[in-house]
A and B are shown apart, each in its own frame.
Chain A
């Protein structure tokens, strides 16, 4: 019971941000909800280890994104509810526009942005979480930022001009 109570606290602390972070990464809130719950189930499965982590956010996020992308790969025809289909108010418009732009980035760059800036991981922590080199994180973040700026400017509808 003590473990279950501890897990309930863990769940309340992490489920909401995890869902939003995966939504920002995949653009699919429905899939994100399933992925977040799957990551939390795996946390419960390994509760003795997870409960001792000082910063379990990166692990949760990575498990959830891996699961979500694996699911999407396997079941590419599975109907999903894209973020655009959600009811939105005019005031939310800028959020969805920005998410739309982020979703065009390569998956790895999206993960870098979430880990580095949403979760506040350092470059080395981000690199470790993603299993890549620090230089790759730096260049990836730089590229992502450049791409988002270009999209924000909205000047390049057609790329690669001859």
Chain B
């Protein structure tokens, strides 16, 4: 029986869900709907409709109430920043921001004319979202849009906020109905962030969720046990979000951090969709891929092809040449690595050759593993043609430091250990064709079981990385975890 058939047969054998009550879920859903419609009927500005809807739609966990924001001036500080999307007299706006390690650029002159782009190269941006009215609100004057990009939008034309990358996270993180205004200084790093953008504290407004008002330390240290909280900074003239951090007991994460903001400048305009290649341009991608393959066959430095594991993931954002360069610098330790040859400049797939001083060139084959270009699989297509690789019984392999451990799409990629060192006891054996087969035991970082795959860097006597390989384990047993 084919393995997929076995999978299909196995799924129904998984444990079923715990008991539930359809009535409870139905009423919860209808309450959400009523709140959304109540906002519409009360004549609240259309932008808020979208914001509230997305906030409700994205808020996780318990069903939260979303009271009118106008009723919530907290403490002695009164909220002044308008909601992004509510006012239109301050347009146009250009905001660049980082979210989930990706840099985006929002440009717009009104909520009927805006775009969101993802940075894919040094000066290269790719459109990921743009205005697209949803029928339900079209007659209300727009303000709610379908996500036309490749993000994890719900399908079927259901409501999305304008620029889900921009607004949704900020609203859900800061807690639309649960925030109080605080001094900017209460958010560590807030003053510096604002200054970096050429703004002053007079240009922004800072918020926190009420439970952490008065705490100006690290967010995880402020959050009461078992609870969650958030902080945010908004740009006062426009209401656009500049910073959002959400924390819970023991941890926190920054979901949005602005890099720059410009407004009231007529030169700002959203980018027409037809001027930027879309991810859906598969025909072009196929052509580029074919070209890349051709070059590989004829341009390889070695007649021996070495593949870096299977589907080793490298979560990086940007143009493929940047991804490959970062990989070489951060994982291989080639601090002066530079891309020298790029075949295929589309985000989906590319072949990039990287060179570093004193090192052989290495060619990577990169393929975006999801349609947003958020994650690349990297295959090293040529490696270690002639290098002398000394493998001794007590060979010690140094791990590239300062690269975080990360779980990516179910395949964990270990790129560091706590002390920057991974020790592998190798049991080298030479295969019939002269290749060295590596097997042995890895003293893996903890928690070892979190990592299902590892990249292993092999160094020469000078401590330089001359080869990257990978390892993973399967259910039959692992040699990586103790």
Contact = CB atoms under 8 A, between A and B. Distances in A.
Interface of A: 3-4, 7-8, 10-12, 15-17, 19-21, 23-24, 27, 29, 32-33, 36-38, 40-47, 49, 53, 58-59, 62-63, 66-67, 69-71, 73-78, 83, 86, 92, 94-95, 97-108, 110, 113-114, 117-118, 129-133, 135-136, 143-145, 147-152, 154, 156-162
B217 interface: no
B224 interface: no
Contacts of B3: 98, 145, 148-149, 152
B296 interface: no
Given A42-B29, A66-B152, A160 B309 contact: yes
B194 interface: no
A74 B246 contact: yes
A12 B470 CA distance: 45
A162 B438 CA distance: 7
A23 B438 CA distance: 35
A160 B410 contact: no
B267 interface: no
A17 B16 CA distance: 8
Given A76-B407, A160-B307, 11 more contacts: A7-B25, A17-B12, A42-B29, A75-B248, A94-B10, A104-B411, A106-B375, A118-B8, A131-B371, A159-B471, A161-B469
Interface in B1-42: 2-4, 6-8, 10-18, 20, 22-23, 25-30, 32-33, 36
Contacts of A118: 7-8, 11
Among A74, A98, A110, residue most surrounded by chain B Cβ atoms (within 10 Å): A74
Interface residues of B, number: 88
Nearest to B478: A157
B196 interface: no
Given A29-B14, A74-B246, A104-B410, A49 B156 contact: yes
B14 A24 contact: yes
B409 A23 contact: no
A161 B428 CA distance: 11
Contacts of B310: 147, 150, 159-160
B403 interface: no
11 contacts: A8-B23, A20-B14, A42-B57, A69-B152, A94-B10, A104-B472, A106-B311, A135-B282, A157-B476, A161-B436, A162-B306
B443 interface: no
Contacts of B10: 24, 94-95, 98-99
Contacts of A86: 15
A61 B328 CA distance: 38
A15 B29 contact: no
Contacts of A150: 310
Interface of B: 2-4, 6-8, 10-18, 20, 22-23, 25-30, 32-33, 36, 57-58, 60, 100, 150, 152-156, 158, 246, 248, 250-251, 253, 255, 280, 282, 286, 306-313, 369-371, 375, 377, 383-384, 389, 407, 409-411, 431, 435-439, 452-453, 458, 467, 469-479
Given A4-B26, A135-B282, A157 B33 contact: no
Contacts of A105: 311, 410-411
Contacts of A156: 472, 474
B104 to A, nearest CB: 17
A12 to B, nearest CB: 7
A21 B23 CA distance: 23
Nearest to A72: B407
Contact of B11 (A24, A73, A145): A24
Contacts of A16: 16-17
Contact of A37 (B20, B312, B435, B453): B20
A98 B154 contact: no
A154 B7 contact: no
Given A59-B154, A77-B250, A161-B437, A151 B11 contact: no
Contact of B154 (A62, A133, A145): A62
The 4 A-B pairs of least Cβ separation, nearest first, read A44-B29, A11-B22, A19-B17, A45-B29
Contact of B4 (A24, A32, A117): A117
A108 B26 contact: no
B469 to A, nearest CB: 4
